[in-house]
Amino acid sequence: MTIETSPLSYRHEDTDLDGHLAWDAARHGRRPGVLVVHEWMGLGEHERKACERLARAGYLALAADIFGRGHTPRNAEEAQENAGHYRGGDRGLLRARARAGLEALRAHPLCDPERLVALGFCFGGTTVLELARDGADLRAVASFHGGLDTPRPAQARSLRARVLALHGADDPFVTADHVHAFEDEMRHAGADWVLVAYGGTVHSFTNEGAGDEPAKGFAYNVKSARRAWRAMEEFFLEALV
């Protein structure tokens, strides 16, 4: 196994986007592609590590850039403003930016364009759910502690991807109403979906940089992070058969 990484620049309309690619150079031929979407602070170490982990599992992994070159937030205030810009309105721009990353992944010579999946963390979890709602050509998506609400719910038979939502049961940013609305949305759409709620777990539970104070509403939870990653691996393997 020889894990290699490189930047991958691509565009959406007139915006330059800077992704991060990881793959196992010891493998030959095409392999499944996985799009990884970042948290509200932009593409960082958390997403790069996830890509390398996925590359070790046999994927071609691309960490997408939703915000664009030169627009990485410097602090939480900027991150909130940035994320709000994409989460607001009808989310058309968010979906389009994510699709640009998906097409960059699909076009890579090591990618099997018929075997694509996507995952995201927090803001990125919201993003991959929007990709699925938009009918993107994906086998499956997995949202790690992402927002479940949307102004544009999936319509009947519009979802092509299987949907996995990995949720902290005590996440104060995703209300019980959001969870119930998501469940009803998936039923109405006729989706192949799974929602897993991890007890004693709050927001950002997969990110080691989230700290260890659940009372703040966000904290790393090593047990839930491990369980969620295993659930994603199994879900993707089933979808890619």
Determine which of 35-39, 76-80, 172-176, 194-198 has the lowest per-residue pLDDT on average: 76-80
Helices (H), 112-200: 123-133, 176-189
User: What CATH number is attached to the domain comprising 186?
Assistant: 3.40.50.1820
Give me the pLDDT at residue 147, please: 96
pLDDT at 90 over 90: no
pLDDT at 231 over 80: yes
The DSSP secondary structure of 179-213, one letter per residue, reads HHHHHHHHHHHT--EEEEEETT--BTTT-GGG-S-
The candidate with the shortest Cα–Cα distance to 96, out of 165, 11, 182, 191, is 11
Planar angle of CA 214, 215, 218, nearest 5 degrees: 45
Quote the pTM value.
Answer: 0.95
Over the stretch 13-36, which tens digit does the pLDDT of each residue have?
999 999 999 999 999 999 999 999
Give me the pLDDT at residue 22, please: 98
Q: How far apart (Å, rounded) are the C-alpha atoms in residues 133 and 46?
A: 25
pLDDT at 87 over 90: no
* Domains identified in the chain, total number: 1
Give me the pLDDT at residue 112, please: 98
The candidate with the shortest Cα–Cα distance to 154, out of 130, 122, 125, is 130
Beta bridge partners of residue 198, listed in sequence order: 168
196 neighbors 166 (Cβ within 8 angstroms) = yes
> Encoding tokens for residue 241?
């058969």
Choice between 70 and 177, residue whose per-residue pLDDT is larger: 177
Say how far residue 184 (Cα) sits from the centre of its chain.
Answer: 21
Beta bridge partners of residue 3, listed in sequence order: 24
Instruction: Please state the rounded mean pLDDT for residues 117-133.
Output: 97
Amino acid in position 212: D
Q: How far apart (Å, rounded) are the C-alpha atoms in residues 16 and 65?
A: 9
72 confidence band (pLDDT: 50, 70, 90) = confident
168 neighbors 241 (Cβ within 8 angstroms) = no
Stretch (H or E) spanning 102: helix 92-106
**HSE, side-chain direction, 13 A CA sphere, residue 240:** 20
Domain range spanning residue 208?
Answer: 3-240
Given the DSSP bridges, would you call strands 15-24 and 193-198 parallel, antiparallel or unpaired?
unpaired
* Burial profile 5-32: b = 16 or more Cβ within 10 angstroms, e = fewer: eeebebebeebebbbbbbbbeeeeeebb
The candidate with the shortest Cα–Cα distance to 27, out of 54, 66, 1, 64, is 1
